[in-house]
Structure 1
Amino acid sequence: MSKILFLSDPSQADVSPILGMANEMVTKGEQVTFFSSDEFKEPIEQIGADFKAYNRELNFFRAGRTLNEEKPKSGLISALLEPMKFIDDILVQLRGLKFDYAVFSPSYPYANIITQLLDIPKTEQIAYH
């Protein structure tokens, strides 16, 4: 049984195709850990995957206001300005877990860094339309 880490931008366009792949892996007996935001917790857990949520305060994928800003800051802009806060949160949540490989979309901003830091030997980047 392989242990697979799924990393997804928490948008319907990113989660749907990757969730289908995760479902196939779970059906085949693989152990799947899936990172996304709280709005996708139920569908992820329904397929039998282990759900991990981005920290609400650090969920850079969503647009939101910070305390010192009048306009919302884009999730991607926040992620680019403060990447280590986001990456560190994921690493803390995955501490002690080992994965055989990771699956992520081409748009996932820190997949290569995260997989290197977790010493995941093989990564799979999926493209879909």
Structure 2
Amino acid sequence: MSKVLFLSDPSRADVSPILSMANEMITRGEQVTFFSSDEFKAPIEQIGADFKAYNQELNIFQGEKAVEDEEKPKSGLISALLEPMKFIDDILVQLRGLKFDYAVFSPAYPYANIITQLLDIPKTEQAVYN
């Protein structure tokens, strides 16, 4: 039985195809840990995967919030671009102590190469076709 890490942009276009793949892998006895946003928690847990949520303040996939005060920290994509290690470190902290045989992610997933290198696991890109 393999342990598989799924990294997903939390959009239906990215989650749906790899959620189907994760479901099939679970049916075959694989253990799946699936990173996404809270809005996809129910469908991910429904297939039997272990759900992990992006830290809301670091969630690069959420829409940019209006910043009223220039001194407030930037969130979402801007924060990830300026300080990518905060985003990556959050994922690594949540995965501390877990070992994976490989990772699956969409081609558009940012930092997948860095995350898989730091975890020392092979990666598989899942092409998404519309």
TM > 0.5:
yes
Task: Tell me how far apart the structure 1 counterparts of residues 99 and 16 of structure 2 sit (CA, whole Å).
Answer: 25
Structure 1: unaligned runs, 5 residues or longer: none
8 Å CA contact 1:61–1:79 kept in 2: the answer is no
Deviation at 1:74, TM superposition (A): 8.3
**Identical columns (%):** 82
8 Å CA contact 2:57–2:76 kept in 1: the answer is no
Structure 2: unaligned runs, 5 residues or longer: none
- Give me the TM-score of the superposition, normalised by structure 1: 0.91
Residues 1:107 and 2:108 aligned together: yes
Task: Tell me how far apart the structure 2 counterparts of residues 4 and 10 of structure 1 sit (CA, whole Å).
Answer: 18
8 Å CA contact 2:58–2:76 kept in 1: the answer is no
Paired position in structure 1 for 2:17: 17
Runs of 4+ in 1 over 6 A off after TM superposition: none
Paired residue total: 125
Paired position in structure 1 for 2:90: 89
Paired position in structure 2 for 1:6: 6
* Amino acid of the structure 2 residue aligned with 1:68: D
Task: Tell me how far apart the structure 2 counterparts of residues 109 and 68 of structure 1 sit (CA, whole Å).
Answer: 28
- CA RMSD of the aligned region, Å? 1.5
- Give me the TM-score of the superposition, normalised by structure 2: 0.90
